[in-house]
Chains A and B, each alone.
Chain A
Amino acid sequence: MALARVERLSYAYPEGGAPALSNVSLELRPGEAVALLGPSGSGKSTLLRALAALVPHFHGGRFVGRVEIAGLDTRRARPSDLAGIVATVFQDPEDQVVMTRVANEAAFGLENVGTPPAEIRPRAEEALAAVGALHLAGRRTTDLSGGELQRVCLAGALALRPRLLLLDEPTSQLDPAGADEFLRHVGALGASVVLSEQRVGRALDLCARVLFLEEGRLILDAPRGEALDWLAANRPAYLPGPELDLPEPAARGEVMLRLEAVEFAYEAGLAVLDGVDLEARRGEVVILEGPNGSGKTTAAKLAAGLFQPQRGKVTRRGRAAYLSQDPGRYLICERVIDEAALAVGGDQERARAALDLVGLGWAAERHPRDLSSGERERLGLAAVTVAEPDLLVLDEPTRGIDPERKAELARWLHAYAARGRAVLVATHDRGFPAHRRISFDKEMALAA
């Protein structure tokens, strides 16, 4: 018997516009792991919300069709009624943490669903241990990194021992090792899992079945083998390799950025960077990679001039710009076009060209907060690159971006570098193409 059944579901948010889901039907069997793929804005998050009954109860809107979870019709059962049967881990961990201490955060859902008091602490600790976060139990949630917080959110969901686990890009803030470990825990659960992921390789490793959504329609529902063939024929960017067709690299030119023996600490005695040397030259795309907490972001901020080194020397040539990993920081103006024009003194022509380059020309007159998270990422990129800086520093620019957009971004950055600029990218994304890769380790020394 199916654990979840979606029948001819169509849904439109109350703000209007095109339907987020159109005539979607599927069944989920107990214990089944399903990868949910599709471009940004294709309706993946909406489908997960429908499976958690948040659509329509929390969001309102026009809901046609039927969703049944463990025999409960979501038109009558509220999300809180389904809690315990269904657990959801949302995209942004900072927007779902309720409690101040990690142990209490893991216990929050258990308390809500009426777990016997004597079982609450042991189950919360067991869930924290399962995701490798038991050592964080006494910490404040506000003091955790994004990656740590994401594990705590998963622990909160696992503690409920749900029959259906809904994961909306849960590894977007984790380094590759952390993401692999996270998904290994998920795989060992035995629950039905629906995993929406933009890092497709990992999702395909875990899941035996693949769903592909596009413009709200379910255009593929197939076992993994069949789905791989379909992706290879129809959406090749979703599969690893072949190599991207990148522009010819320019000859490596003069040094645009040099960090020499740089040291930096946010708190006295807790060095994040200790004696780091690196350089980037004209025409180069350089990747900074390494695990969560290894100092990539700090090095990127030092490179862009947002931080000053406490010891050592940073030299830059020309103008530098920095793209933050949080796209919510590029939502200051009332219109997308104004946001993009901010760095060029309101020059709308240049702003429009920058928006066209990232595929957001159509959204120029919209409010930035009306954009999806992937679209916000692209707006941030346009807002930073509009002034054509000589040194472009990007922090996790592929977070939340679908594989096709990621390939476009890679081509765009390589073309940008080929025009005589230097590009420095801090990322967890192992597959992002570069001329050079610099690895950071947690011991604060540059490994390569």
Chain B
Amino acid sequence: MKLGPGPAAALLLAAAATALLADRIAVIGALVGALLFVCLRAPAKRLRPYLFFGLVSSLGVMVFSPFLALEGTNVLWSGPVVPVLGPLDVTVEELAIAAENALRLAAVTLAFTAYALLLDHDQLVAAASFARRSSLAVALATRLVPTLERDAGGLIEAVRGRGLELAGVRGHARLLSPLVAGSLERAFNLAEAMEARGFGRSGRTRAPGAPWSGVDRAALAAAPLLVLGGALWL
């Protein structure tokens, strides 16, 4: 049976929280595996940028944090002493902590990916019986990622259409400012359209949603238990 978006969001949030709270690397690794399995249900084209970001940021933590941390006694490599940063050495303990943190970051990223790509945000907003405005703001902000991706693609295409190519990081960085300005303009236009459509007026109603199933209730109950387990035993 298909899980409703509310309980699914609660489970994803619980999985991310558990990854942050758990101490055992095997548990965190298992959570990453489970979340990756869930994410693979999303269309590959939409999933790719999220996985790329998750992989790069997790690898960044894995590679760079041992140089910056000062933990452990089993030294694998000793480097020079750098002002402000201190000694650039790498220990076994630092590597273990870096691996744990990288997996934690991967779990959080994958949970967000599943939330962004697989859940029906309209139903989530509808399910929010309180703080509806905040829920809608979160849903719209989530939609910003694919919108930015599409806008960036359009800008690059238009530049190519003028016979130019954007080369390297510096070339692409040039798009950052127009992308941000475009997002602000879009947000302004959207806010205007929402106001014209009565958003914010008192006496709001909502269309009846699908009733919750037994699986939905069980998933919602399991979410806090997962977090508790992560905090106390895992």
Which residue numbers of A lie inside 8 Å of B, CB to CB?
52, 54, 57-59, 78-81, 83-84, 86-88, 90, 92, 94-96, 98-101, 104, 107-118, 120-121, 124, 142, 156, 301, 304, 306, 319-324, 326, 328-332, 342-343, 369, 380, 383-384, 387, 389, 393
The residues of A that contact B164 with a CB separation of less than 8 Å are 342-343
CB distance from A83 to the nearest CB of B (A): 3
Closest A residue to B126 by beta carbon equals A104
Contact of B190 among A98, A100, A114, A156 (CB under 8 A): A98
Given A54-B192, A80-B199, A108-B199, 16 new contacts (CB under 8 A): A52-B196, A57-B195, A59-B192, A78-B195, A81-B201, A83-B196, A84-B198, A94-B186, A98-B136, A107-B207, A110-B205, A114-B203, A116-B205, A324-B154, A332-B174, A384-B161
CB distance from B124 to the nearest CB of A (A): 9
Render B104-147 as a binary contact track against A, CB cut-off 8 A, 1 for contact: 00000000000000001110011000000000100110010011
Contact of B205 among A115, A124, A369 (CB under 8 A): A115
In the complex, the answer to whether A331 meets B143 with C-beta atoms within 8 Å is no
In the complex, the answer to whether A328 meets B182 with C-beta atoms within 8 Å is yes
Q: Which 5 A-B pairs have the closest CB atoms?
A: A83-B198, A322-B161, A112-B198, A96-B193, A329-B158
Contact of A387 among B163, B198, B208 (CB under 8 A): B163
Q: What are 25 sample pairs from A and B whose C-beta atoms fall under 8 A apart? A: A58-B191, A59-B192, A95-B186, A98-B194, A100-B143, A101-B122, A104-B122, A108-B197, A111-B205, A112-B201, A113-B201, A116-B205, A121-B207, A301-B157, A304-B161, A322-B161, A328-B151, A329-B155, A332-B155, A332-B174, A332-B175, A342-B162, A380-B158, A384-B162, A393-B161
CB distance from A54 to the nearest CB of B (A): 6
Query: Complex: how many Å from CA A142 to CA B46?
Result: 12
In the complex, the answer to whether A120 meets B207 with C-beta atoms within 8 Å is yes
CB distance from B131 to the nearest CB of A (A): 16
CB distance from A33 to the nearest CB of B (A): 20
Query: Complex: how many Å from CA A163 to CA B181?
Result: 36
Contact of A306 among B147, B151, B160 (CB under 8 A): B160
In the complex, the answer to whether A80 meets B204 with C-beta atoms within 8 Å is no
Contact of A324 among B146, B147, B158, B193 (CB under 8 A): B158
CB distance from B190 to the nearest CB of A (A): 6
CB distance from B136 to the nearest CB of A (A): 8
What is the total number of residues of chain B having a CB less than 8 Å from a CB of chain A? 48
Contact of B146 among A96, A117, A142, A304 (CB under 8 A): A142
The residues of A that contact B186 with a CB separation of less than 8 Å are 94-95
Query: Complex: how many Å from CA A380 to CA B175?
Result: 16
CB distance from B148 to the nearest CB of A (A): 12
- CB of B200 within 8 Å of the partner chain: yes
Closest B residue to A124 by beta carbon equals B207
In the complex, the answer to whether A95 meets B208 with C-beta atoms within 8 Å is no
- CB of B189 within 8 Å of the partner chain: yes
Contact of B207 among A80, A117, A328 (CB under 8 A): A117
CB distance from A70 to the nearest CB of B (A): 15
In the complex, the answer to whether A112 meets B178 with C-beta atoms within 8 Å is no
- CB of B159 within 8 Å of the partner chain: yes
The residues of A that contact B207 with a CB separation of less than 8 Å are 104, 107, 110-111, 117, 120-121, 124
In the complex, the answer to whether A99 meets B122 with C-beta atoms within 8 Å is yes
Asked, given contacts A100-B121, A304-B161, A321-B161, whether A80 binds B195 with beta carbons under 8 Å apart, the answer is yes
The residues of A that contact B181 with a CB separation of less than 8 Å are 331, 369
The residues of A that contact B163 with a CB separation of less than 8 Å are 319-321, 343, 387, 389
The residues of B that contact A83 with a CB separation of less than 8 Å are 196-198, 201
- CB of B206 within 8 Å of the partner chain: yes
In the complex, the answer to whether A80 meets B198 with C-beta atoms within 8 Å is yes
In the complex, the answer to whether B154 meets A329 with C-beta atoms within 8 Å is yes
Query: Complex: how many Å from CA A330 to CA B159?
Result: 8
In the complex, the answer to whether A326 meets B205 with C-beta atoms within 8 Å is no
In the complex, the answer to whether A324 meets B157 with C-beta atoms within 8 Å is yes
CB distance from B140 to the nearest CB of A (A): 7
Closest A residue to B179 by beta carbon equals A332
Asked, given contacts A98-B140, A107-B207, A384-B162, whether A332 binds B178 with beta carbons under 8 Å apart, the answer is yes
The residues of B that contact A107 with a CB separation of less than 8 Å are 207
Query: Complex: how many Å from CA A389 to CA B162?
Result: 9
The residues of B that contact A52 with a CB separation of less than 8 Å are 196
The residues of B that contact A393 with a CB separation of less than 8 Å are 161
In the complex, the answer to whether A112 meets B197 with C-beta atoms within 8 Å is yes
Contact of B206 among A96, A111, A332 (CB under 8 A): A111
Closest B residue to A104 by beta carbon equals B122
Query: Complex: how many Å from CA A98 to CA B160?
Result: 31
CB distance from B180 to the nearest CB of A (A): 12
Asked, given contacts A58-B192, A100-B121, whether A113 binds B155 with beta carbons under 8 Å apart, the answer is no
In the complex, the answer to whether A100 meets B120 with C-beta atoms within 8 Å is yes
Most chain B CB inside 10 Å of its own CB: which residue of A83, A114, A324, A329: A329
The residues of B that contact A142 with a CB separation of less than 8 Å are 143, 146-147
Asked, given contacts A319-B163, A332-B174, A342-B162, whether A156 binds B197 with beta carbons under 8 Å apart, the answer is yes
Query: Complex: how many Å from CA A90 to CA B190?
Result: 10
CB distance from B207 to the nearest CB of A (A): 4
Query: Complex: how many Å from CA A112 to CA B201?
Result: 6
The residues of A that contact B196 with a CB separation of less than 8 Å are 52, 54, 79-80, 83, 86-88, 90
In the complex, the answer to whether A109 meets B121 with C-beta atoms within 8 Å is no
In the complex, the answer to whether A111 meets B204 with C-beta atoms within 8 Å is yes
The residues of B that contact A326 with a CB separation of less than 8 Å are 154, 158
Query: Complex: how many Å from CA A329 to CA B155?
Result: 5
The residues of A that contact B140 with a CB separation of less than 8 Å are 98
CB distance from B187 to the nearest CB of A (A): 9
In the complex, the answer to whether A321 meets B162 with C-beta atoms within 8 Å is yes
The residues of A that contact B194 with a CB separation of less than 8 Å are 98
Asked, given contacts A80-B200, A111-B204, A331-B182, whether A306 binds B161 with beta carbons under 8 Å apart, the answer is yes
Query: Complex: how many Å from CA A374 to CA B120?
Result: 36
Contact of B185 among A58, A88, A304, A369 (CB under 8 A): A369
Query: Complex: how many Å from CA A124 to CA B136?
Result: 20
Query: Complex: how many Å from CA A115 to CA B164?
Result: 52
